[in-house]
Amino acid sequence: MLKHRGFPGRLPGTDFQFTIRRANPRGVTPLVARERYADRRPADRRADAAFLAALVEHFGDAPFERGNLDAGRLSWLLGREVVPAEDPFDPASYGALLRVDLDRARAAFPALFDEGGP
């Protein structure tokens, strides 16, 4: 499992996890696109935005390996702002390639890009 050095481990001041420390000995947690409803808590929305900002800062729109990125946090963005970068895509692999769809990210999180970001 590739460890993304320099990637934030969590949202500062919270328990929202962005990375995992080690591979799951019982198997890889598969990525599953989760529906984001309008009534999500503001803290959850901030965590999504911070995680996406970290992805854009580290990888831009280049393909990246899933590695030690948290499956739960990736699943909130999968299929929208984060898309598979390979075909066939294995959602249960630490080596799966993903990429950020910057156009969809701008549409969903305009504040990230209005502040002089990517």
Tell whether 68 is covered by a domain: yes
Number of domains in the chain: 1
What is the residue range of 96's domain? 63-118
From CA 88, how far away is CA 44, in angstroms rounded?
A: 30
Q: Could you report the average pLDDT of every consecutive run of 10 residues in the chain (118 residues)? A: 88 89 86 90 92 94 93 94 94 94 93 70
- pLDDT at res. 26: 85
Phi/psi of residue 33, each to 5°? -60, 120
SS3 letters across 25-36: CCCCCCCCCCCC
Tell whether 99 is covered by a domain: yes
From CA 103, how far away is CA 25, in angstroms rounded?
A: 36
- pLDDT at res. 90: 93
Tell whether 89 is covered by a domain: yes
pTM: 0.89
Provide the residue type at 29 as one letter: T
Provide the residue type at 53 as one letter: A
Tell whether 105 is covered by a domain: yes
